[in-house]
Amino acid sequence: MSSNPSLPASNFIRSLIEADLASGKHKSIVTRFPPEPNGYLHVGHAKSICLNFGLAQDFNGKCNLRFDDTNPEKESEEYARSIQDDVQWLGFKWDGEVRWASDYFEQLYQYAVELIKLGKAYVEDLSAEEMREYRGTLTQPGKNSPFRERTVAENLDLFARMRAGEFADGAKVLRAKIDMASGNINLRDPAIYRIRRAHHIRTGDQWCIYPMYDYTHCISDALEGITHSLCTLEFEDHRPLYDWVLDQLPVPCHPQQTEFSRLELHYTITSKRKLLQLVNEKHVSGWDDPRMPTISGMRRRGYTPEGIREFARRIGISKSANTVDMAVMEGAIREDLEGRAARVMAVVHPIRVTITNFDEANAQSREAGFHPNHPEFGSRMVPFAKELWIEADDFAEQPPEGWQRLTVGGEVRLRYSYVMCCDEVIKDASGKVIELRCSIDPETLGKNPAGRKVKGVIHWLSVEHAIAAEIRLYDRLFSVAEPDADKDVDFCQYLNPHSLSVVQGWVEPAVRAAAPETRYQFERLGYFCADRREHQAGGKLVFNRTVTLKDSWTKE
């Protein structure tokens, strides 16, 4: 992998493309990203998007966005729109118009007729259960269907009648005639058309037969002039079928299918079916819940497109297992935000401090920059007043060894402000600390105190000036690295009960007008993002914790 983050990482697919261009096999490359609009895209799709669009970008080629809309019962316009939004948000642009497999339904039908005429496809009357019995097993060959030797004329007639709606759903299928004894089960006369009366999001009720994915995908690639058809390793056993279909038909070209390992990310899941279960069972608030590994969820949490693209670059492309710890993703996001997020102060778990020697005539507020390395980010005034909020965690009556924050009789530096000493603790009837009475050293604004060293620095806010905000402290959705590893245990048992904590906190007045999706570092607390759904600039402020400042999970 390249050590220069500005350079793309080398991998076997990039090497293959370089060789194809150098040999003249292709003058330019055309890739495609072919999602099914049956759910929101997740982090595994982000890897594929970065690969397909990134290669096209790097080699001055083209990448198509093509929806695989061959399964009408599970597909929706909402999913299709979200996918387009995700690709654009990640920073990529597809070539021309959005394409759909349904654009080719008539051509796909005519190619199926061609296969029948060639004696390479037949109409099957066996039930789905009978077809499974005839198919055989991994160790036993299949056996020919009693309908396999129908004449071309009979098959053409039946297939036309299937299209015309004469038969019930599931009564017949069209199968490719390949080899029922093949060691590859995918070649044992796979179904290429089935009858399904379902309203389609684009073609309505025009069709009652729909092509199967394996048949549709390779022909769509060929019709679009795709040079490199990149897919995950579970399709490796399907490649002989991909090639067989294209070898039988007069298609414009024969793309090359190449497989790479899919992404498995610890502490989450990347199964659309299981993600849908989380949504339907209300374990999360929706597909874009900031705990979800969906692109829309990561966006809402505050992840950046640049951070996700860098994550994809770091994990690389290979044929070996690509199981990655969540810390790698969080590290890429943290590093990206380090340079781009303005820094402000917020208090999440507040405790009140009263400055007993506050003198309004002499106490001063100070100007503070939004980023130590980016003066162009500007600055703001940090107002000081008699009453302050500090973080409850920054005070301890009985401090542990090495404590460098506030304790009775101890001093700390208030960030951008004075050195402060805690003189008295006020408790309620139950013994809970509700207020600290402190004094400031008025000679320490912008300079160190004379004759003593103050180690600790804490953040704070003026009670008078602080703005109320809802703070959502997000953590990993699951408490174990591989929640769906045991197929006999419901993965929902491993949901992290502490994955979301909602608190009433306070933020600097400087963020009152922050627009949704504005990102900040709340000093000493982590990176936060104004919620893109519920945050209202100048109104109700809602901030989502994107990632902590350091990895707080124990390494395995």
Active site residues: 36, 262, 272
| DSSP code at position 448 | P
Measure the CA–CA gap between 69 and 202, rounded to whole angstroms: 9
366-369 and 433-441 beta bridge pairing = unpaired
Contacts of 297 (CB under 8 A, 6+ apart): 40, 287, 288, 289, 290, 291
Strands 121-124 and 460-462: unpaired
Burial of 490 (0-12, 13-18, 19+ CB in 10 A): exposed
Question: Which residue has 């979200």 as its token pair?
Answer: 82
Q: Is 60 left (phi over 0), alpha (psi -120 to 50) or beta?
A: left
What are the tokens at 117? 């005429």
387 bridge partner residues: 354
b/e 140-153 (16+ beta carbons within 10 angstroms → b): eebeebebeebeee
- Residue position matching structure tokens 């009263």: 354
Distances (CA, A) of 288 to 223, 331, 361: 34, 21, 50
Kindly calculate the radius of gyration of the chain based on its CA atoms and give it in whole angstroms. Answer: 31
Please, which residues bridge with residue 370 across strands?
none
Distances (CA, A) of 152 to 115, 300, 494: 10, 56, 55
Spatial distance between the Cα atoms of 117 and 46, rounded to a whole number of angstroms: 42
